[in-house]
Structure 1
Amino acid sequence: MVDDAITEISKKEDWPPVMEWRAFADWIRVDHSIVHMWLHRAYIPSIRIGKRRMVNLVQLIEDLKGQESDE
């Protein structure tokens, strides 16, 4: 299931390599406080650009691919 989602996202040419964390929370339909906690605990990869904390989607997808191959 995760592999199908990763493949689908990766095929799209218009998906962003990074996304502002609040937009990411809305995109995956998770409460903002949950994503904020994930970032604070480094459960998901992020990068700071200026004053903004962005979710690194490229790294997140690579991490998910690695986790699925380990199972």
Structure 2
Amino acid sequence: MIDEQITESISDKLQSGTPPMMDWRAFADWISVDHTVVHMWLHRAYIPSIKIGRRRLVNLVQLVEQLKGEGE
């Protein structure tokens, strides 16, 4: 579902001290993917997220663990 290049990009950026959660729009910009694509990933539960108030945040730590698990 998520491209291998995006997976590597996320892992590299996480090691450089990013926060454990990020607004989904900021996440889309961060990985250079169109907002509508990330919105559909969230809607289809392809990537882990949490809703706090009105905000939908992507759980980056859980996403990396999930991606590492798929590679095994």
Q: If the TM-score is normalised by the length of the shorter chain, which range does it land in?
A: 0.7 to 0.9
Match of residue 29, structure 1, among 32, 54, 66 = 32
Task: State the number of aligned residues.
Answer: 67
TM-score by length of 1: 0.81
In the alignment, what sits opposite 2:52?
49
1:40 aligns with 2:43: yes
TM-score (norm 2): 0.80
**Cα root mean square deviation, aligned:** 1.9
Residue of structure 1 aligned with 2:15, choices 11, 23, 33: 11
* Larger Rg over CA atoms: 1
CA 1:26–1:4 in structure 2 vs 1: closer, same or farther (change >3 Å)? closer
Runs (5+) with no aligned partner, structure 2:
none
Change over 3 Å in CA distance of 1:4–1:32 after alignment to 2: closer
Structure 1 residue 9: Cα displacement? 3.7
C-alpha offsets along residues 13-51 of structure 1, whole Å, 9 cap, x if unaligned? Answer: x21100000000001111000100000000000001121
